[in-house]
Amino acid sequence: MNNPIQHGILLGDRYRIVRELGHGGFGRTYLAEDTNRFNELCVLKEFAPKVQGTYALQKGQELFEREAGVLYKLQHPQIPRFRELFRAKLGNESYLFLVQDFVEGKTYRALLDARKQQGMVFNENEVQQLLVQLLPVLSYIHALNVIHRDISPDNLMLRHADLLPVLIDFGGVKQVAASVESQFTEAAVHASPTATRLGKVGYAPDEQMHMGLVYPHSDLYALAVTAIVLLTGKEPQQLIDPY
């Protein structure tokens, strides 16, 4: 993974870094200002899988660009718009970024945690409203043969502007990073067959976690688990009987 980019750095003569939002297996995520759009806030997702060698990185970037092309065609008001891919160079380090709209709001994980501190959870009407507002979004992406793969309270946001749920962090990008690392890192030679599986334990169905198989109903399963977690305040591991 590349070194973190400091506040105030201008990338591509356009995007000024505000702060790092987080990091994962695929790289770091930054909040940035788009100087070509009156300093409108946006999100930069870096693609930097932990691989060695030019060929491995090039192959990974090709897969990443292909996945970004899939996400770029999604045009729905409850999905952050993917704007572009761009490359940048700082010193001796090269970067590849995916740019998407910034959503002002809170994740359902943060909302649930805040309620639990007060001894509360989501009520039935609130969860029903979430399902009514989100199921059409899933219907839309599934009609385009796109599967989210990673639905959970962490990847659903309640947008402040209109109080609608927004679907964030599509799993395809993370899947590319995991697949590239699995194929091209030395450690992957001895890794388990589940090394490239994507999804949160308890939220993803068994066939996704154990065999990497995803279908539209994989998203519906994860959304159903999410609804139960919001209603009960308990994690899937506390709710599912292993026997």
Residues with catalytic function: 150
- Spatial distance between the Cα atoms of 191 and 104, rounded to a whole number of angstroms: 39
> Which residues pair with residue 99 across a beta bridge?
44, 84
E strands within 116-204? 156-159, 165-167
Q: How would you list the strands of the sheet with 93-101, edge to edge? A: 10-11, 15-24, 27-34, 40-46, 93-101, 82-90
Instruction: Let me know the angle formed at the C-alpha of 168 by 166 and 170, rounded to the nearest 5 degrees.
Output: 140
Contacts of 124 (CB under 8 A, 6+ apart): 231
Contacts of 164 (CB under 8 A, 6+ apart): 77, 78, 133, 158
